[in-house]
Structure 1
Amino acid sequence: MKKYLKLILVICAFSSLVYAKETENRWKVHAELSYVKTSGNSETETFASKIEGNRDYNGTRVKLKGEFLYGKADKRENTNKLNLSGRLERVVFNKFFGFLQDDYYRDKFSGYDYRNVLSAGLGYDIFKTEKHKLKGMGSLGYAVEQYKAGGSEDYPTGGLNLDYVWDIKENLRFKQELKYETDLQKTDVYFLNSNTAFEVKINGNLSLGVGLKIAYQNKPPSPDIKKTDTTFLTSLIVDF
């Protein structure tokens, strides 16, 4: 439990830093927290957190995101994931923008000590209305992987992203993120990620959320690792 408290303190410190007001603009922060513990015939414990910081100022947009998922069953660790990403966008013409992005993944039970992908690309705000927002992006990059069983690999990558937000009602929001990434040297090595979520607002800052995450890797580092990871979570959400 101590590790959870430390992580919460880090999240709070990061939130305080990101939330600091500036003269004409400030960061927007989205934080999610989920914790489940059961005991009796079986003992399980799951902790998940997510924090996003977004800033949009004069055609320059910055997005920072961190996600952590940890789980135990009958006192044995069975989940340990950390995802960190940062993206810098700059509008170049009308709805077109260029971007630089860095993604860091650590997943103890998917065969990786870590994956780091540095990429650059172009994006397009397909539409942006009061209720609907859809953004598409294409990128080229370079990946470095360190495997749990030993060894490493690096290779050029290509990626496609779709991000969609639908404000169904004043207090109800739907989000869908899709991401495809492939090894440009060996196209049978690719990754598909889907993140689907509904958020119900309780008051001005608090919401409840349910989300389904699906992570698929077509060619895992080891044959005993499953290709698909599925995570379903309910979370308390704070936006400020």
Structure 2
Amino acid sequence: MTRNTAFASALAAVTLFALPTSALADIPDPVRAMIDAAIAGGDETKIRTVIELARETNPDDAAEIDAILANYEADLAVAAKAAEAEKIEAIRNAGIFENWSGKGELGGFRSTGNTSNTGVTAILSMKREGIDWTHKINARADYQENEGVANRERFLASYEPNYNVSDRLFIFGLAQYERDRFQGISSRYAVSGGLGYQIIDQPSLKLSAKAGPAFRVTDFVDGRSESQIAALFGVDFDWDITDRLTLTHDTNAVAEAGGAATVIIDSSNTSIDLVTGLNAKISNSLTARLSYAYEYDSNPPPGAVGTDTLSRVTLIYGF
């Protein structure tokens, strides 16, 4: 006997024995057997359908049948509450390397701006959701060679912990590293923290924004180095247009697209990173993605332009 079958049988027994004997006696044996079998099967939709049919075909026993349904729903609520408590306890006791989910992307791109070529791109995103904390890790690499010489080489990695103050308000932290030699940046480090708010939080539409102070250190390829106090603004937008077409970064729909923007402003240079995309789900774990990235620096090093665009075509594997 499986665990689910045992649970269904126990639920059926609790439901029936909780009823007054007089209630069970009034219901015809075939009808009672039909309801018993449905409850033992554990399919809630089927159970409700059978009970509704029993009520329609036996109107004189409607009160007794309603009593069976009420007891079943009460036991269902108790079981759901116990399952939720068990889930929360498992999350609280999970180790640091447990409960992570993520996705990996691999594909090609075409760039314009400082370079106008095609190449390869790889992206890794991981997320761990707890009771109050959410941890996000992202890494991205774009690389290309032309006749054996690299003409695009950009790496970006970030770690963002979020603490939920309420259902909508959260505190965030952010540590970010990037390298783009063809933009004149040998390495750039940024740390930030502040407040975020879930402006819209509906099943099909989500919009959040965050803002806070930041500190940024930039090492240029010409040997110069700058340290600046900055401000960070971020926006994340997800919209399920239909069951099969969704504007989001994380969905099970057949197609999706997404948009997220991060702006870092300091006294000498403003950086904007904007990404949108269109995803087509191939299977439960494999998705094809077409995305467009806009990268802007208001004060690029000598010899570099301020705007880069990048169109990517990738395959995403979720795990």
- How many residue pairs get aligned? The number is 209
CA distance in 2, matches of 1:220, 1:199: 32
Deviation at 1:129, TM superposition (A): 2.1
Equivalent residue in structure 2 for 1:174, among 245, 253, 257 = 257
Q: TM-score, normalised on structure 2?
A: 0.62
CA distance in 2, matches of 1:137, 1:235: 28
Equivalent residue in structure 1 for 2:299, among 200, 211, 219 = 219
Kept after mapping to 2: 8 A contact 1:45/1:73:
no
The structure whose residues are more often strand, as a share, is: 1
Q: 1:177 to 1:200 in 2, by over 3 A?
A: same
- The alignment yields a C-alpha RMSD, in angstroms, of 1.9
Corresponding letter in the other structure for 1:161: G
**Do residues 194 (structure 1) and 274 (structure 2) align?**
yes
Equivalent residue in structure 1 for 2:288, among 205, 208, 212 = 208
Tell me, what secondary structure is at the counterpart of 1:109? helix
**Do residues 79 (structure 1) and 162 (structure 2) align?**
no
How big is each residue's C-alpha offset from its partner over 1:61-86, in whole Å with a ceiling of 9 and x where there is no partner? 10000000001223321100100000
CA distance in 1, matches of 2:118, 2:216: 33
Q: Which residue of 2 aligns with 1:13?
A: none
CA distance in 2, matches of 1:199, 1:132: 17
Kept after mapping to 2: 8 A contact 1:167/1:174:
no
Q: Which residue of 2 aligns with 1:7?
A: none
Kept after mapping to 2: 8 A contact 1:30/1:53:
yes
- What are structure 2's unaligned runs of at least 5 residues? 1-88, 92-97, 110-116, 245-252
Kept after mapping to 1: 8 A contact 2:172/2:193:
yes
Kept after mapping to 1: 8 A contact 2:108/2:312:
no
The structure whose residues are more often helix, as a share, is: 2
Deviation at 1:133, TM superposition (A): 1.9
Larger radius of gyration, structure 1 or 2? Answer: 2
Q: TM-score, normalised on structure 1?
A: 0.82
- What are structure 1's unaligned runs of at least 5 residues? 1-21, 37-43
Equivalent residue in structure 2 for 1:63, among 124, 136, 140 = 136
Q: How does 1:136-175 map to 2 (within 5 A)?
A: 136-168=209-241, 169=244, 170-175=253-258
Extract structure 1 runs of 4+ deviating beyond 6 A. Answer: none
CA distance in 1, matches of 2:183, 2:158: 19
**Do residues 52 (structure 1) and 132 (structure 2) align?**
no
CA distance in 2, matches of 1:45, 1:177: 24
Equivalent residue in structure 2 for 1:106, among 170, 179, 196 = 179
**Do residues 228 (structure 1) and 307 (structure 2) align?**
yes
How big is each residue's C-alpha offset from its partner over 1:30-67, in whole Å with a ceiling of 9 and x where there is no partner? 1100147xxxxxxx761110011011111211000000
How big is each residue's C-alpha offset from its partner over 1:159-208, in whole Å with a ceiling of 9 and x where there is no partner? 1110112233221112101111111xx2x521111101111101100000
CA distance in 2, matches of 1:202, 1:86: 29
Corresponding letter in the other structure for 2:184: G
